[in-house]
């Protein structure tokens, strides 16, 4: 695991929402991270399937993590979510994200959420405003 991946994991350990929803930040071999969530009852709606807000939060967090990999702290300006398939309790969701545009002030990302079997659950795109560098820059 890289130092940056360790810093991202520590960063998200301090995030109350991530902890409450039980997202797990997992390092990947390519230097990025992804999120995992075993769906529990607290994540569901009245129909017994995962709530769309949980999937949206997961996609937003995954895309924010992709921005951190680029050494940028961001906040979301806009986000679009497409729900493709319902998910029931006991399913493990994996969210991946990639940066489409890494600008000085604006970043664009996309995210896919899939089951552990690879079935696509949702897709998202978002625009982020860059607040600052995540880690101090070497001068």
- The CATH number of residue 78's host domain is 3.10.129.10
Asked, for residue 67, whether it belongs to a domain, the answer is yes
Asked, for residue 41, whether it belongs to a domain, the answer is yes
Pairing mode, strands 33-38 and 72-83: unpaired
Asked, for residue 78, whether it belongs to a domain, the answer is yes
Whether residue 131 contacts residue 123, with contact meaning beta carbons closer than 8 Å, is answered with: no
Q: Give the residue with greater pLDDT, 83 vs 32.
A: 83
Question: Residue 120's closest CA among 93, 98, 100, 80?
Answer: 93
SS (H, E, C) 64-84: HHHHHHCCEEEEEEEEEEEEC
Whether residue 100 contacts residue 90, with contact meaning beta carbons closer than 8 Å, is answered with: no
Asked, for residue 123, whether it belongs to a domain, the answer is yes
- The residue-averaged pLDDT of 79-101 equals 97
Is residue 89 very low, low, confident or very high in pLDDT (cuts 50, 70, 90)?
Answer: very high
Could you give the number of structural domains in the chain? Answer: 1
Asked, for residue 139, whether it belongs to a domain, the answer is no
Q: Give the global pTM.
A: 0.95
**Segments forming the whole domain that contains residue 8:** 3-133
Tens of pLDDT, residue by residue over 21-53, are 999 999 999 989 999 999 999 999 999 999 999
- Is the pLDDT at 138 greater than 80? The verdict is no
Asked, for residue 138, whether it belongs to a domain, the answer is no
């Amino acid at each position: 695991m890289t130092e940056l991946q360790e810093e991202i994991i520590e960063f998200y350990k301090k995030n109350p929402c991530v902890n409450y929803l039980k997202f797990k930040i997992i390092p990947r071999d390519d230097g990025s991270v992804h999120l995992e969530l075993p769906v529990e009852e607290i994540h569901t709606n009245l129909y017994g399937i995962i709530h769309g807000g949980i999937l949206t939060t997961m996609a937003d967090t995954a895309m924010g993590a992709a921005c951190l990999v680029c050494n940028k702290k961001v906040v979301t300006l806009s986000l679009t979510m497409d729900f493709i398939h319902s998910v029931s309790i006991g399913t493990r969701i994996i969210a991946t994200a990639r940066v489409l545009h890494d600008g000085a002030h604006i970043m664009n990302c996309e995210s896919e959420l899939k089951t552990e079997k690879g079935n696509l659950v949702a897709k998202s795109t978002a625009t982020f405003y860059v607040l600052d560098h995540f880690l101090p820059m070497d001068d």
